[in-house]
C-alpha cells in the first residue's frame, strides 16, 4: 500500500508505532520496522543519552529497515538533557524523529542537516499549521481518543483530522509549497481505522495502544489481558484542572487522582501517585493498581495479541479489502 508516508520514509505499509513510555524498546521498534511499518525507540525511556545510543545500536542489529525515535520535549523544573539525547540518536543512526510537547522550529534545521525526517505531533489545527511553517516533513494529528496527552480542546479525530488536512492545504497554497505528510493517531487499531483515515485525508496512521497488545511488547501478560478485557469505557482523563489533560487506563489510582484535582489539589498533591516509576511497575509486575498507566480508546477494538508482522499484514489487507470491496461496490453504479 503506497502513500506519501511510505514514500517519505521508505516503508512498505502506512503504519507507524507511536512513542510509548517504558515500552518503546529495541525489540518492539525492530519488529514494527521488519513488518513493513516504522518502528520508534522512545528516547526518554532510556535513563541516559548513552543508554539511548546503546539501545539504538541494538535495534540496528535487529533490523536493517527504516527506524526512528520519539523525543518529547516538555518544559519542566529539571528537564532532561534533550540536546544530548538528540545527538546520541543522530550518532547512532536514525531515519526519523517524532517530536512533540513544544515548538519544533529550533530542532528542524539540526535534524534536516543530518538527513533525518521530522514528524511532529499536534493536537490542534493551530499547532499543526505552526509545525508546517516550521518545515517539518510530517504531522501526526492526535485526536481526543489517544492515550497520553490529547490537548485541551477535546476534538475527536473524525473532525480534527480533516480540519487539519484542509488547513494545511490552504496554508501550503499560500506559500506555494507542498503540504506535509499527515498521519492520524488516536483510536486506530485495525484496517477499518486505516481505511477511514485515508478517506479523511491522512497518509497513514500511528498506533500506540494497539502495539501494547503484541507478542513483542515488553509488558506483563496481565496488562495485555486487561487491554483485551477493557471496552470503550476503560480509560479516564486526569490533570484536566491542571491544564495538562492525560488519558490513562481506568483504575483506582487514576480515579483517585482525578478526584483530588477536581477537589482543588495541585500537581504537588498528586505527584507521588502519578510517578512514572509506578507506571513502570504496572508494566513489569502486572499489578494493575500499582500506578497510572497509559491506554487509549483503541483498547475497545483489541481482541488478540498477535505478532507485529501478523498485525500489520492484517490491518493492510483489511483496509485494502474494504477499499476494493465494500466501498468500491457502494461507489459503483447500480
Residue 76: what pLDDT?
A: 72
Query: Is pLDDT at 78 greater than 90 in this prediction?
Result: no
Cell of 91: 550518532
pLDDT value at 126 more than 80: yes
- In the chain, where the domains are located: 4-219+303-331, 221-285
Q: How many CB atoms lie within 10 A of CB 286?
A: 16
b/e 152-166 (16+ beta carbons within 10 angstroms → b): eeebebbebbbbbbe
**Angle, alpha carbons 75-78-83 (nearest 5°):** 70
The model's pLDDT over 5-27, given as tens digits with 9 standing for 90+, comes to 999 999 999 999 999 999 999 99
pLDDT in tens, 195-211: 999 999 999 999 999 99
Distance of CA 320 to the CA centre of its chain: 23
122 has a pLDDT exceeding 90 = yes
CB atoms within 10 A of CB 232: 12
- Give pLDDT tens digits for 41-76: 999 999 999 999 999 999 999 999 999 999 999 867
Mean per-residue pLDDT, 294-302: 97
For residue 138, the model assigns a pLDDT of 98
Distance CA 175, CA 191 (A): 35
Residue 218 grid cell: 515488553
SS3 128: helix
Report d(CA 89, CA 249) in Å as an integer: 30
pLDDT, tens digit (0-9, with 9 covering 90-100), for 237-258:
999 999 999 999 999 999 999 9
Please state the CATH superfamily assignment of the domain spanning residues 4-219+303-331 in this structure: Aldolase class I (3.20.20.70)
Across the range 270-283, mean pLDDT stands at 94
The sheet carrying 138-142 orders its strands as 15-17, 205-207, 181-185, 138-142, 117-122, 96-100, 67-72, 39-42
Which residue matches cell numbers 543530518? 114
C-alpha cell, 269: 498533591
Average of per-residue pLDDT across 262-289: 95
Q: Supply the pLDDT for residue 196.
A: 98
pLDDT at 334 exceeding the cut of 90 = no
The pLDDT, as a whole number, for residue 333 is 78
What's the DSSP call for residue 333? -
Beta bridge partners of 39: 67
Question: Mapping DSSP to helix (H, G, I), strand (E, B) and coil, where does residue 291 land?
Answer: coil
Q: Is the pTM of this model over 0.85?
A: yes
pLDDT at residue 74, as a whole number:
81
What does the pLDDT average to over 94-123? Answer: 96
Amino acid at each position: 500500500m503506497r502513500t506519501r508516508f511510505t514514500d517519505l520514509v521508505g516503508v512498505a505499509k502506512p503504519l507507524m508505532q507511536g512513542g510509548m513510555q517504558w515500552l518503546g524498546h529495541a525489540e518492539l521498534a525492530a519488529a514494527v520496522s521488519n513488518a513493513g511499518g516504522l518502528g520508534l525507540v522512545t528516547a526518554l525511556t532510556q535513563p541516559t543519552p548513552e543508554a539511548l545510543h546503546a539501545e539504538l545500536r541494538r535495534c540496528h542489529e535487529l533490523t536493517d529497515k527504516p527506524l526512528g525515535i520519539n523525543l518529547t520535549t516538555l518544559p519542566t523544573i529539571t528537564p532532561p538533557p534533550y540536546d544530548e539525547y538528540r545527538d546520541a540518536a543522530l550518532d547512532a543512526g536514525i531515519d526519523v524523529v517524532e517530536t512533540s510537547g513544544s515548538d519544533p522550529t529550533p530542532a528542524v534545521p539540526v535534524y534536516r542537516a543530518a538527513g533525518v525526517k521530522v514528524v511532529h505531533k499536534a493536537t490542534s489545527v493551530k499547532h499543526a499549521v505552526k509545525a508546517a511553517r516550521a518545515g517539518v516533513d510530517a504531522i501526526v494529528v492526535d485526536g481526543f481518543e489517544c492515550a497520553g496527552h490529547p490537548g485541551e480542546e477535546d476534538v475527536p479525530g473524525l473532525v480534527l483530522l480533516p480540519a487539519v488536512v484542509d488547513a494545511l492545504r490552504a496554508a501550503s497554497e499560500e506559500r506555494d509549497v507542498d503540504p506535509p505528510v499527515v498521519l492520524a493517531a488516536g483510536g486506530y487499531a485495525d484496517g477499518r481505522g486505516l481505511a477511514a483515515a485515508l478517506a479523511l485525508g491522512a497518509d497513514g496512521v500511528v498506533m500506540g495502544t494497539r502495539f501494547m497488545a503484541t507478542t513483542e511488547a515488553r509488558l506483563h501478560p496481565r496488562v495485555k489481558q486487561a487491554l483485551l478485557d477493557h471496552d470503550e469505557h476503560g480509560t479516564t482523563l486526569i490533570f484536566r484542572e491542571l491544564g495538562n489533560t492525560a488519558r490513562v487506563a481506568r483504575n483506582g489510582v487514576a480515579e483517585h487522582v482525578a478526584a483530588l484535582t477536581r477537589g482543588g489539589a495541585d500537581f504537588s498533591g498528586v505527584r507521588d501517585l502519578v510517578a512514572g516509576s509506578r507506571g513502570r511497575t504496572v508494566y513489569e509486575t502486572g499489578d494493575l493498581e500499582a500506578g497510572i498507566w497509559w491506554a487509549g480508546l483503541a483498547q475497545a477494538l483489541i481482541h488478540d495479541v498477535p505478532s507485529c508482522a501478523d498485525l500489520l499484514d492484517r490491518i493492510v489487507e483489511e483496509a485494502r479489502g474494504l477499499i476494493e470491496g465494500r466501498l468500491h461496490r457502494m461507489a459503483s453504479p447500480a
